[in-house]
Amino acid sequence: MNTLAEENYLKAIYKLSLTAGNVSTNQIAAELATKASSVTDMVRKLAEKALVNYTRYQGVSLTKAGEKVALNIIRRHRLWEYFLVEKLHFKWDEVHDMAEEMEHISSTELIDRLDAFMGHPTRDPHGDPIPDCDGNFKVTELKPVSTVEINTAGVISGVRDHSASFLQYLERQQLTIGKHIIIKEVISYDNAVILEMENTQIQISRDVANNLLIAL
Nearer to DNA, 49 or 206 (CB): 49
- Site for DNA contains 6 (CB under 7 A): yes
Q: CB of 130 within 8 A of CB of 108?
A: no
Segment interacting with a copy of itself, rule: CB under 8 A, options 24-32, 45-53, 104-112, 178-186: 104-112
What strands, in cross-sheet order, belong to the sheet with 200-204? Answer: 143-144, 212-215, 153-159, 180-186, 193-197, 200-204
- Site for DNA contains 51 (CB under 7 A): no
Near Mn ion in 63-92, by CB under 5 A: 81
Site mask, a copy of itself, residues 65-94, x = CB under 8 A?
A: -------------------x--xxxx----
- Site for DNA contains 43 (CB under 7 A): yes
What is the torsion angle, in degrees rounded to the nearest 10, for the CA atoms of residue 123, residue 53, residue 69 and residue 166? -40
Kind and range of the H or E element at 157?
strand 153-159
What share of residues in the chain are helix, strand, coil (percent, to 5)?
Answer: 45, 20, 40
Binding residues vs a copy of itself (CB under 8 A): 84, 87-90, 97-98, 101-102, 104-107, 110, 113-114, 117
